[in-house]
Amino acid sequence: MPRKFLYVYSIVVTLLLMGVLFLAYSDVMQRVPDPDNDINTVHRGSSSHREATQLLPQNVRPISLNRPFDFAGEPLPMDNFDVRERLDRELTVNAYTHGTTLLNLKSTYRYFPLFEKVLKENGIPDDFKYAAVAESNLRNAVSPAGARGIWQIMAPTARQYGLEITEEVDERYHPEKATQVACKLLKDYYRQFGNWTLTAAAYNIGGPRLAREKNAQKGSTFYDLHLNEETSRYVFRLVAIKEILANPKAYGFVLEDEEGYSPLDQYKIVEVNSSIPNLAEFAQQHGISYRMLKVYNPWLIASSLTNKTGKTYQIRIPR
C-alpha cells in the first residue's frame, strides 16, 4: 500500500511540475520578439503592438517642393532636379532640427526689428536678415576661421569698414555697428556680381574667391557653380530658414509673441572718454551687475577699457 501511494504521488508531482514548466515556457515565448516580424506585422490592439508603436511617436513627412521659391525676389529654378534636391536637403534639415530652430525663432524677436530697419535704410533686401541666422544662429559666435559676431565678420574686413578691434574692444560684437558693416559689404558685392543670389554666396565664401570660381567655371548664376560644401548649401539654407521662420506654424513650430526674446532696448547711454580700470566696479557704480554690463555691451571683451586716445565710447546701462 505505501509503495502504491508513493508511486501515485510521484506521478501527480511530476505532472504538476510539467504543467508549471509548460506555462513558464509559453510566457517566455510570448515575450521574445520575432526577428521576422516588424511593427507593422504585430497584431493591432495587442500589448506588443502598443509597446512597439510607442517607441517613436512621431509623424515625419517630406516637405512639398511643388511651389515657387525665391531669395531676395530672385526665383529658384525649380525645374532643375539638382536645385530641388539641394533645397529639399536644407528644408528637411532645418525643419527637423527642432531645438535650434525654435531658439532661432525666439531670437528673431530680439534682433529682426533692428536688422529690418538697417537693411531697409541701406537698400538691402529684407531676406538678408536670414543670413545672420545662417551665419551664427543669432549669437555672438566665433568660427574656426576667426570670424566673429552675429554677422560673422573677419577681422580684416571689419577694420576695412571701420570697426574697432583691440584686446579690449571688438565691435564685431556690436549688433548695430556690425549690421551696418554687413550692409556695406553686401552692397559692394552686389555692385560686383549684379544679383542678390551671387551676393549671398560671396558673403559666405568671399568676393575674390567667388569671382575666381565664376570665371574658371564659366558660370553665370549661383546654380551653375560647383563650390565648396558650405557655400554650395548656403543660398539653399537661407531659403529654407526664410521659409520656416516666416511660416513657423506651417512647419509645426508654435510660439506665442510673449515667448520670444525681448529686444534689449531699455537702457540709458553713459558716455566715457577716459579709461575704466575695472569694468566690474564701473558696473557696480551704475547699479548693475558685471554680467548685465556684458550682455548689453558685448563689444567690451575684456575686464577693463584702456582709452589712451580719449575716444568717446557709448556704454549702455540697462534700466
What does the pLDDT look like over 164-216, one tens digit per residue?
999 999 999 999 999 999 999 999 999 999 999 999 999 999 999 999 999 99
Q: Tell me whether residue 6 is in a domain.
A: no
Residue 38's pLDDT band (cuts 50, 70, 90): very low
Number of structural domains found in the chain: 2
Q: Tell me the average pLDDT of the chain.
A: 89
pLDDT at 19 over 80: no
Q: Tell me whether residue 40 is in a domain.
A: no
3-state SS string for the chain = CHHHHHHHHHHHHHHHHHHHHHHHHHHHHHHCCCCCCCHHHCCCCCHHHHHHHCCCCCCCCCCCCCCCCEECCEECCCCCHHHHHHHHHHHHHHHCCHHHHHHHHHHHHHHHHHHHHHHHHCCCCHHHHHHHHHHHCCCCCECCCCCECCCCECHHHHHHCCCCECCCEEHHHCHHHHHHHHHHHHHHHHHHHCCHHHHHHHHHHCHHHHHHHHHHHCCCCHHHCCCCHHHHHHHHHHHHHHHHHHCHHHHCCCCCHHHCCCCCCCEEEEEECCCECCHHHHHHHCCCCHHHHHHHCCCECCCCECCCCCCCEEEEEEC
Answer yes or no: do 277 and 254 share one domain: no
Q: Which three three-digit cell numbers place residue 107?
A: 531670437
Q: Which three three-digit cell numbers place residue 146?
A: 576667426
Q: Tell me whether residue 2 is in a domain.
A: no
Residues facing 169 on adjacent strands = 300
- Among 243, 259, 275, the domain-final residue is 259
Answer yes or no: do 155 and 280 share one domain: no
Percentage of the chain with pLDDT > 70?
A: 82
Answer yes or no: do 198 and 272 share one domain: no
- The pLDDT, as a whole number, for residue 287 is 98
Q: Are 105 and 255 in contact (CB under 8 A)?
A: yes
Answer yes or no: do 116 and 222 share one domain: yes
Measured torsion, CA atoms of residues 40, 41, 46, 49, in degrees rounded to the nearest 10? -30
pLDDT tens digits, one per residue of 94-138: 999 999 999 999 999 999 999 999 999 999 999 999 999 999 999
pLDDT at 46 over 60: no
Q: How far apart are CA 314 and CA 319, in angstroms?
A: 15
- Among 212, 234, 259, the domain-final residue is 259
Q: Tell me whether residue 281 is in a domain.
A: yes
pLDDT at 144 over 60: yes
229-246 and 81-95 helices, crossing angle to 10°: 60
Q: Are 78 and 69 in contact (CB under 8 A)?
A: yes
Q: Tell me whether residue 39 is in a domain.
A: no
Q: How far apart are CA 23 and CA 266, in angstroms?
A: 73
- Among 238, 259, 280, the domain-final residue is 259
- The pLDDT, as a whole number, for residue 18 is 65
Answer yes or no: do 178 and 276 share one domain: no
Answer yes or no: do 246 and 274 share one domain: no
pLDDT tens digits, one per residue of 275-297: 999 999 999 999 999 999 999 99
- The pLDDT, as a whole number, for residue 40 is 44
Answer yes or no: do 253 and 218 share one domain: yes
Mean pLDDT of 24-34: 48
pLDDT at 35 over 50: no
Residue 16's pLDDT band (cuts 50, 70, 90): low
- For the ranges 24-33, 66-75, 247-256, 302-311, the lowest mean pLDDT is seen at 24-33
Instruction: List C-alpha distances in Å: 143 to 40, 135, 140, 252, 294.
Output: 46, 9, 10, 30, 20
Q: Which three three-digit cell numbers place residue 100?
A: 535650434
Percentage of the chain with pLDDT > 90?
A: 80
Q: Tell me whether residue 141 is in a domain.
A: yes
pLDDT at 24 over 80: no
- Sequence-ordered list of residues with C-beta below 8 angstroms from that of 21, at least 6 positions apart, any chain: none
Answer yes or no: do 253 and 286 share one domain: no
- The pLDDT, as a whole number, for residue 284 is 98
Answer yes or no: do 177 and 255 share one domain: yes
- Against a cut of 0.85, is the pTM above it? no
Answer yes or no: do 196 and 150 share one domain: yes
Q: Tell me whether residue 134 is in a domain.
A: yes
- For the ranges 24-38, 71-85, 157-171, 245-259, the lowest mean pLDDT is seen at 24-38
CATH of the domain at 101: 1.10.530.10
Answer yes or no: do 234 and 272 share one domain: no
pLDDT tens digits, one per residue of 55-84: 767 678 888 999 999 999 999 999 999 999
Q: Tell me whether residue 9 is in a domain.
A: no
How many residues are recorded in the chain?
Answer: 319
Q: Find the domain containing 154 and state its range.
A: 77-259
Answer yes or no: do 304 and 181 share one domain: no
pLDDT at 48 over 60: no
- The pLDDT, as a whole number, for residue 39 is 39
Q: How far apart are CA 275 and CA 231, in angstroms?
A: 42
